[in-house]
Amino acid sequence: MSTKTGASVQLIRNATVLVNVGDATFLIDPIFSPAGENPPVSNSPNDRRNPLVPMPDVDLSYDAVVVTHRHPDHWDEAAKAELDDEVPLFCQPSEADAFAEEGVADVRPVDDEVSFAGVTVHRTPGRHGHGELAEEMGPVSGFVFEADETVYVAGDTIWYEPVEETLDRFDPDLVVLNGGEAQFEQGDPITMGIEDVSAVRDATDATVVVVHMEAINHCLLTREELRSATEDVHVPEDGERIDL
């Protein structure tokens, strides 16, 4: 178990982060593929192979895995191969069987909330885009980790009422958002852009950290663009850790 004090988030790459809260470390949305190993997301304004960048050289010590949803930029073949099958994996109930079929021995679907190592883990709503496209993208979730401090990992969602309600309900100390303004040739963005991040910033006193940028071909908003257009928002580089 981790013995770190004070909540923190370390960006690994894309939406892969290590969240330290209480006495536990959670590995969120692991993708471990080498740069260029996977095809581009189709119907996107560019066709670069994914991931766009290599894994940073970081210590991947964790007590449990959390997968917000099974899209390949959040759970890839390399992660399936490399993760310890005995480590608990928390997920959406609708995706539990798929993880079990892949050989994960300790799958723990989160309907509402569960406890792990003194941390209460809540599953929260997300909307992966707008209108019909959000329906096509399938179910997605965020997760809130509650111990002495509270961390909200919003997952692949836009700003909408249930995100605001989650902020109001849990009053988190640290919020992790998936930015990048991912989009296809048609339709509105399916992850947060500048306006979404700014809305979250206005709605909470928490430390706000934005990840999911510059690693997958359909994420078009750059770190520098987001930094220039927002205030009091952390936009870490790969491998960087933000401590409370």
d(CA 138, CA 136): 5
Domain extent at residue 57: 8-243
Token representation of residue 122: 């809540």
Residue 31 within a domain? yes
Strand, coil or helix: what is 197? helix
Q: Is the pLDDT of residue 1 over 90?
A: no
Number of domains within the chain: 1
Residue 149 CB partners (closer than 8 Å, separation 6+): 6, 7, 21, 22, 173, 174, 244
Per residue in 29-53, pLDDT (tens digit) is 999 999 999 999 999 988 999 999 9
- Is 100 a member of any domain? yes
Residue with the larger pLDDT of the pair 136 and 238: 238
CATH (domain of 27): 3.60.15.10
What is the DSSP secondary-structure string of 68-129? S---TTTS-HHHHHHS-TTS-EEE-GGGHHHHHHTT-S-EEE-SSEEEETTEEEEEEE---S
- Categorize the per-residue pLDDT at 5 as very low, low, confident or very high, splitting at 50, 70 and 90: low
Residue 2 lies in a domain: no
Q: How confident is the prediction for the chain on average, in pLDDT?
A: 96
161-170 and 194-203 helices, crossing angle to 10°: 30
Give a yes or no: residue 97 inside a domain.
yes
In tens, the pLDDT along 87-141 reads 999 999 999 999 999 999 999 999 999 999 999 999 999 999 998 888 999 999 9
Q: Give the residue among 31, 9, 40 at the shortest CA–CA distance from 176.
A: 9
Asked, for residue 91, whether it belongs to a domain, the answer is yes
